[in-house]
Every structure is written in C-alpha cells, then in structure tokens.
Structure 1
C-alpha cells in the first residue's frame, strides 16, 4: 500500500518527536536529587535531625559528615528505615568536599556544647573554626548551596557566627546573603510552647515571631528567655549533654521549610538570623527577623509590628547584638581579642547545682561559690 497517496495516513504514521510537557510522566527526564548534608552527623543533634528528615518526602539523599567520629554506624542504622531517602556517611577533612558538592542545603550542627555560666565569647571561639572551615569549602565547591547554621547549641551564638561566615564568603565573588541563615527555630518553638500552655491553647496553633537574636518578645518574656538556661543547667546536672532533642526537631523543621521554598512552595515563613538588606540595615546589619523563603533562599525579610515595650526590649538588645556582630567579623580580620564581648571569669569559681527528685523546667537551684566563701546569687557576665 502506497501511503504517499494518502496525506492523512502519512501524517499519522510518520514518526514525530513531541516534547513532554509534564516531566512526571517522562521517564527519560533526569531528576536532580534533593540532597541535605548534615555537618556534625555523629552528634546527638545531627543523628536526630537525620532521623526526622529521613521521614520527609522532600529529601532524596542525606549525607552525614564528621571530622572526628565515623558516622557510618548511624548511617547504616538509618538506612534500615523504609523511606525513600538514601543515607551516606563521610569522615575526615579529605571527604568534606565530596560531602558538600551538589547539596542544596547544608546544615551545620553539633560543635562544642555550652555549660552553665560558660561565656559566649569562649563558646564562640571554640566553634568558630569548625563553622568557618565549612564556609570556606562551601564557597569553593558549593557556592549555590544554602548554608544553615545551628551551632553551637544552645547559647545562641549565631549572632556572631553568621557575620563571621558572611565576612569569610565576602572574599569570594559568589557571596549571596540570601543563602546564609542562622536557625532561630528553637527560640520560636520554645516561645510557642510556653505561650500555648499559658493561654491554654494547642502550641501548634500559636505563632510567636522572634526578632533580634534570642527570645526578645513581650509575651512571658522572662520565662521564655530563662527557659534556655534552665534547660541547659538541668541537662548538665543530669550528665546527658546539651539540649539536642528539641533543637534537632527545630533544625529538621527549618530545613524542611528551606526545601519547600526551593521547590517553589509559596508563603513559607520562618524566623532566622540573617543579613539585613532593607531599611533595618541602618539599625543593625545582621538581625533575627521573619523571613520568607523561596527558590533562592531568602526571598524577603520582614519586621513584625511591635509595641513600645517590645521596642524597648529590642533597644536593650542592640548593644549585645552589635558586639556579637563585631566579634564575628573581627575573627576573620584578626582582631578577635580586641572585640571580645565577655571577659574571662575570675579564677577560683566553682559551681554546685542541686535538683529535686522530679526534674522540671525551673526546678533547680544554681549557686556560685566564690573564694573566701563569698557567695554570688547568680552567674553574672561582665560586659565591656
């Protein structure tokens, strides 16, 4: 049969390539896997964060990296969970490049934990190189990745670490402040939990925005701000390490929000310590604020409407935040010692912590005993 005489049949039977408009039905369309790298994957916080992310449908691959302790056992354990995400482990400086390359989100957690009355300057100095090293490798091998910093837990030194990382990456032409985020979700979920119990509502239905650096809001201000130190003291006297359980939940939730933004979901809102590029920059160049996440990381930053009392709290926080920013930037230029916020404590101090049979938040007593039996009522940080 000669098909050339039948134009209609010739059109139907002639092979043609039709572009596929829906990639979900195109088996040949390559899919870029969604990869999350957890720096500090051997720590309690890193392991629990990986466990929570392993259950997320947004993640295709989770990489656990450690510079000291092999996370292979944790990776093998997590691989038994019957979800889609692949688990990989990396150990040592030589494999840091491989662990970071291609990851859309890199979470830095773990590091040196705080102890009661440990100064923020000391804690920052202990963790600065740990975070800076990751930033250098990110700038070299994964400049498009989003860097989320939760280290150290839980003193809140992101107010110094984010400026430090930014100062380091500013050396590179690829510096993008939208992709450097300090996680403040721990303060948010703590505020929601305390406020929800106070007003007798489900904490999941409560949203308390946190601005500045730590919990600096009017609602139950003293309780929210003291809850962090109380939890640290309780975990310390129980010899169970830092408060990594709730912080791992906060990290997983924040990373999930970042991934939702990367995948194009609209109106993804979180609180984070970030570079300020709007009118707030004249107040502080870095600050915790409400952010909207998108395909490029931070899409926009927002300052919630605050009343006079909340404004007063923010003004009081200003000198602390300013000095933390200077401390972080000074670490890169070599003037860290000049910009140290907190003086070393007087030698000879020791601490005795007692607790009741039932451990609850606030259910503890912390006494500082000075030389010559001179007692202090509480731990006081000396501010220059």
Structure 2
C-alpha cells in the first residue's frame, strides 16, 4: 500500500488522474496539491467507497510540505497545457520553473520517493528535475521517470484501428525515444503479436503516435490538450510502479530515464549518444532495475531514430541549462 501525492491535482489531467488513483486498492493515502481547488477536489473524491484516504492542500499553511512529507510516490502533472498552435517546447519557460520549484521541495521533503513527471515538455522537464535533485544531493536515477506511457497506449490503439481490430490491448508495441513529436519512435516491427502494415498504414500510425496530441488540441479548439488519455496513461504507469514496489516481478514499461544511472543503461546511452532516452524498463521494489536495449530496428525505424536523437540532444541541453544557469 502506497502514500501518493499528486502535484497539480485540480488541473485537467490532475483530476481524472486523482480519480483513477483513488480507485486503486494499492493506494493507502492520496494527497492532492494545487494552487487552487485541491481541497474541493479531495473532498469530492473522499466520498468514493475505496480505502484510500484523501486530503487536499493549497499553498497557504505549508500545504506543499503537508502534501509531500512522507510520500512514497509523487505524480506531477502540474503546469500549463498546450493551446492550438503551441508545441511542447512553447510551454518550456513556464513549466520549467514549475518543475524546478516543485522538485526543490520534493528533494527536501520526500527525497526517496518515486517521482513521475507528466509535465511537458518531458524531454526537458526530466533533465530539469534531475539537475535540481543533484543540487540537493538526493538524485536516485532509479526513481525518477518521465511518463511516456501515453505514446505506448496510442501505438496499440492506432495500430488496432488500422487493422480493424476491436481490442487495442491485444498489441504490445514498445515506444522509445522522447515524448514530443519526432522524438517519439513507435517500434511497430517489434509488436507482439507481429503485425503487417502497408507503407501507407505505417506512415499514418507513426504520425498519429508522434503527433496525436495535436489532434486533441485542435479538436478541443483551445479548451485544452490530452487530459483523460494522459491521466489513464499516468495511472497505468503508477500502477506498474506500485505493483513492483510491493514485490510483483516481471513488470516492464517504457519510460524516459537518465540512462547512465539505471542498470543496463550505460551501454545504451553510449550507443545512442544521449543521456536521457525512453526505453523499456523493468521495475522492482527499489525502482528501475534494468534498462532494456532498443533492440533490432527496421530501416524505417533507424531513420526515425536518427531524427529523434538530433532533436533530443537539444531538448536535454535546454533542460539542464535552465537549472545550471547557462544560456539556452
């Protein structure tokens, strides 16, 4: 059973994520923090007949300290959402400061917690989190994760749609790289069970996995971005962490991590030429226990990888420089 804190709990991702966490029998205590409305959201959720005790906190009266002290899992969807015409990088300045400020508190109040970062742009916000934790001397690379599960969910969903299959969960498709546009690499060639897509279908599925967020931003016409599907993906990742934490074995999920700090990740990092990258990661009671290699790629995927790494390098430097005080 796990004590979970959600930072940004009253937002459009935070609320459905908190609802899903409240539904989980693995959660003992659910603490919700935001700059507005979090107390009301907590009161609402606390009427649900599941075991987790729910409490809400605002910035006043040391709310963040109360939300974080003793937390074992911290989920962070806090920040501003994309609007039409915005890329994830357009969000950088505001959300970079949000992550830096929150991680400084996490470092002091629950340094041993598992930290799951949803706030975009993940390619840069995770390096920011790592640099802040390093400054406080509490960085554990096996417990800091960028949540890229939505890309995995989309890969299964869009592949099923292309093939006319009714159950997307039938397909297990790893997605590696980053969590923004061309940095997202769905490895359709490694699908289990194997699938056969035409070149036209492959192009369409890959594009939708990479830019599916744009579909939602456009269709919501300025009212938000990916929220319910992101909450679902965040919850799925949280469940994986919690199951492994309580001793279940064989749990593997792709996630964006600092590769050199995860067992098996140093070699992958050297071969790719980047320190942060999403790969399938096996989880145990202490967090990430093994980073799995990207595996054999098709020629199509090799081309995607080259483009992804070039863009990722800039994203990573941008995040690290934000904390180090260098020029972006």
TM-score category of the 2 structures, normalised to the smaller one: 0.7 to 0.9
Q: What's the counterpart of residue 89 of structure 1?
A: 56
2:193 alignment counterpart: none
**1:206 matches 2:171:** yes
Paired position in structure 2 for 1:25: none
For these two proteins, the number of residue pairs brought into alignment is 298
| Counterpart in the other structure of 2:278 | 288
TM-score, normalisation: structure 2: 0.87
Q: TM-score, normalised by structure 1?
A: 0.75
Q: How does 1:357-372 map to 2 (within 5 A)?
A: none
Higher helix share: 2
- RCO (CA 8 Å, sep 6+): is it higher in 1 or 2? 2
1:34 correspondence with 2:2: yes
SS at match of 1:138: helix
Q: Distance in 2 between matches of 1:107 and 1:197?
A: 30
Take 1:198 and 1:160, find their aligned partners in 2: how far apart are those partners?
32
Superposition deviation, residue 312 in structure 1: 1.6
Deviations 1:347-384 (A, max 9, x none): xxxxxxxxxxxxxxxxxxxxxxxxxxxxxxxxxxxxxx
Q: Which residue of 1 aligns with 2:76?
A: 108
Equivalent residue for 2:131, pick from 163, 167, 170: 167
Q: 1:184 aligns with which of 141, 145, 148?
A: 148
For residue 44 of structure 2, the aligned residue among 66, 69, 77 is 77
Unaligned runs of 5+ in 2: 189-201, 261-265
CA distance in 1, matches of 2:206, 2:98: 32
Cα distance in 1, alignment partners of residues 10 and 322 from structure 2? 27
Q: Distance in 2 between matches of 1:122 and 1:309?
A: 29
Deviation string 1:143-168 (CA, Å, 9 cap, x unpaired) is 1101100013xxxx111011111111
**Are 2:216 and 1:231 equivalent residues in the alignment?**
yes
Shift of 1:240: 3.1
State whether residues 5 and 31 of structure 2, in contact with CA within 8 Å, keep that contact through their aligned partners in structure 1: yes
Query: Considering only CA atoms, is the larger Rg found in Structure 1 or Structure 2?
Result: 1
- Distance in 2, matches of 1:139 and 1:78, equals 28
Instruction: Identify if the C-alpha distance between structure 1 residues 72 and 205 changes in structure 2 by more than 3 Å, giving closer, same or farther.
Output: same
The alignment's C-alpha RMSD in Å is 1.5
Partner of 1:216: 185
Alignment equivalent of 1:53, drawn from 21, 26, 30: 21
Trace 1:239-318 onto structure 2 (pairs within 5 A). 239-277=222-260, 278-282=266-270, 283-305=273-295, 306-318=297-309
Aligned to 1:371: none
Distance 1:35 1:43 in 2: 20
Pair 1:332 & 2:323 matched: yes
